[in-house]
């Protein structure tokens, strides 16, 4: 057998082993994680938790795995366990912000998926926001305030570098500081959240929320005249409910105007047979992901183009060294055809719509009802008994509109 043909066959065998090894290492963890997400979005939370236990993430996917598992445990009401996962994930992302030269070099030869998952700026700030939700659910106001300060650090312009920010995290920081009696710093965060929201207004002194009418929206743009004053009304008790609706972007989400336009659903809050008020939208994770992808597009295109050029040069070098075009074609197939894949990893258990309802409520609130209304007129009702945490006249709660398994049709898919 000719030397060039022998080299080609040896290369083919080694490449096959490499591809199968990579697929084997990722396959089990990916299947288990996908199954966990499937069960999570069908409201089958115990099954989702079991699938997470089965997943064996690689080191490069550890932070993402902890973020996904933390979300599952939060939905199950295991707030302390969820916080532990979120904090570990945040620590891992902090560590990874120191660039790994070895993995960076490998990504230029193989693809971006060999690098550790570091998330996007909005995912990293929401990680602290979701941790704060856990602390607030347990009435742990001091640790919630710790997360508030971490949110503020994450939202610092020097950290975000022009990436889109979410007013939901900013409002969360303000609320956590309010609950530890730090009104001046809370007011600053409410003011910054208010500046990012053209359709609603936040009272920086009270954190209360109201929609802006058309004239006030125009005022926000033009700067004159002053908006209508807030009514002087005292609420003896109020419920501040953080609302999480729908499903955030997945790995294969199709980007475009359909994802970033249109009216959001909202939640009505009822107690003792009375409508207390409704939620208002502070962030859309589809929009955040879309704007993040836009910002990253040029850098990713340049990196991919450079990587393809290097791979093509390697293929030509092999063909020249072996005097065998087939060997070069094989290298080209492996490096470009099989290994050139974009990094589409995302925190897929995030909700889409991040909203806040701040409404007057009865004293000794122990339960309330949520009616989620969609622009199409559909509605779904939920009865909420936990989490509800109280400090003086302020009640905290949060709600996620995961389906009740008994209401879903049977579906084929991951089990």
CATH number of 3-215+239-403: 1.25.40.10
**Distance separating alpha carbons of residues 76 and 83, to the nearest angstrom:** 13
Per-residue pLDDT at 318 exceeds 90 = no
Q: Is residue 83 over pLDDT 60?
A: yes
Query: How would residue 384 be classed by pLDDT, with cut points 50, 70 and 90?
Result: very high
Three-state DSSP at 186 gives helix
Under DSSP, the state recorded for 235 is -
Strands (E), 332-373: 353-360, 368-373
Q: Mean pLDDT for the chain?
A: 80
Q: Is pLDDT above 50 for 112?
A: no
Q: What is the spatial distance between Cα 65 and Cα 33, in angstroms, rounded to a whole number?
A: 8
Rg (C-alpha) for the chain, rounded Å, is 25
pLDDT number for residue 398: 97
Which stretch of DSSP H or E encloses residue 378? none
Mean pLDDT of 14-30: 49
366 Rama sector, left if φ>0, alpha if ψ -120 to 50, beta otherwise: alpha
Query: 245 pairs with which residues across the strands?
Result: 353
Do 78 and 86 contact (CB within 8 A), yes or no? no
Instruction: Tell me the torsion sign for CA atoms 37, 38, 39, 40.
Output: positive
Name the pTM for this structure: 0.79
Angle at alpha carbon of residue 86, lines to 81 and 92, rounded to 5°? 130
What is the mean predicted confidence (pLDDT) over 346-364? 96
pLDDT number for residue 163: 86
Average pLDDT over residues 91-97: 88
Give dist(CA 51, CA 31) in Å, integer.
9
Q: Which residue has the higher pLDDT, 179 or 159?
A: 179
Q: Per-residue pLDDT averaged across 74-86, rounded?
A: 97
Say what the pLDDT of residue 182 is. 98
Write a three-state SS string for 62-117.
HHHHHHHHHHHHHHCCCHHHHHHHHHHHHHHHHHHCCCCHHHHHHHHHCCHHHCCC
The pLDDT-based confidence of 15 (bands split at 50, 70, 90) is very low
The HSE-up count of residue 304 (CA atoms within 13 Å, CB side) is 13
CB 253 within 8 A of CB 289: yes
Region of poorest pLDDT, from 98-102, 190-194, 226-230: 98-102
Which position has the higher pLDDT, 55 or 385? 385
Give, for 348, the enclosing helix (H) or strand (E): none
Q: Could you tell me the end-to-end alpha-carbon distance of the chain, in angstroms, rounded to an integer?
A: 50
Q: Report how far residue 145's alpha carbon sits from residue 136's, in angstroms, rounded to the nearest whole number.
A: 9
Which distant-in-sequence residues (6+ apart) come within 8 Å of 23 by Cβ?
A: none
Lowest mean pLDDT among 193-197, 198-202, 305-309: 305-309
């Amino acid at each position: 057998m000719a030397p060039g043909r022998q080299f080609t066959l040896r290369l083919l065998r080694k490449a096959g082993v490499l591809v199968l090894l990579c697929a084997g290492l990722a396959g089990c963890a990916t299947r288990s994680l996908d199954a966990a997400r499937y069960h999570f979005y069908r409201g089958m939370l115990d099954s989702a938790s079991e699938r997470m236990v089965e997943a064996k993430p690689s080191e490069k996917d550890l932070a993402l795995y902890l973020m996904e598992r933390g979300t599952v445990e939060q939905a199950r009401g295991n707030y302390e366990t969820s916080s532990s996962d979120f904090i570990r994930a945040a620590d891992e992302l902090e560590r990874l912000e120191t660039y790994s030269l070895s993995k960076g070099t490998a990504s230029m030869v193989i693809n971006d998926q060999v690098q550790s998952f570091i998330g996007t700026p909005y995912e990293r700030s929401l990680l602290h926001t979701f941790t704060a939700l856990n602390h607030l659910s347990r009435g742990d106001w001091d640790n919630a305030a710790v997360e508030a300060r971490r949110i503020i650090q994450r939202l610092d312009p020097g950290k975000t570098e022009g990436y889109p920010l979410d007013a939901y995290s900013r409002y969360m920081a303000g609320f956590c500081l309010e609950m530890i009696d730090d009104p001046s710093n809370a007011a600053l965060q409410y003011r910054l959240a208010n500046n990012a929201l053209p359709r609603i207004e936040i009272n920086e002194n009270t954190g209360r929320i109201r929609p802006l009418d058309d004239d006030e929206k125009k005022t926000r743009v033009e700067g004159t005249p002053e908006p209508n004053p807030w009514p002087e009304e005292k609420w003896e008790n109020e419920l501040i409910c953080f609302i999480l609706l729908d499903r955030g972007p997945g790995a294969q989400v199709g980007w475009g105007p359909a994802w970033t336009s249109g009216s959001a659903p909202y939640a009505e809050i009822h107690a003792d047979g009375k409508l207390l008020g409704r939620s208002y939208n502070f962030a859309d994770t589809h929009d955040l992901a879309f704007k993040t992808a836009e910002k990253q597009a040029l850098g990713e295109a340049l990196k991919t183009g450079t990587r393809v050029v290097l791979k093509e040069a390697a293929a030509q070098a092999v063909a020249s060294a072996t005097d065998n075009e087939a060997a070069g074609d094989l290298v080209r197939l492996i490096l470009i055809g099989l290994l050139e894949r974009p990094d589409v990893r995302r925190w897929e258990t995030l909700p889409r719509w991040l909203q806040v309802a701040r409404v007057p409520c009865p004293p000794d609130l122990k339960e309330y009802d949520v009616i989620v209304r969609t622009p199409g007129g559909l509605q779904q009702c939920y009865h909420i008994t936990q989490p509800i945490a109280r400090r003086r006249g302020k009640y905290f709660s949060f709600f996620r509109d995961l389906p009740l398994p008994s209401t879903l049709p049977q579906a084929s898919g991951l089990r």
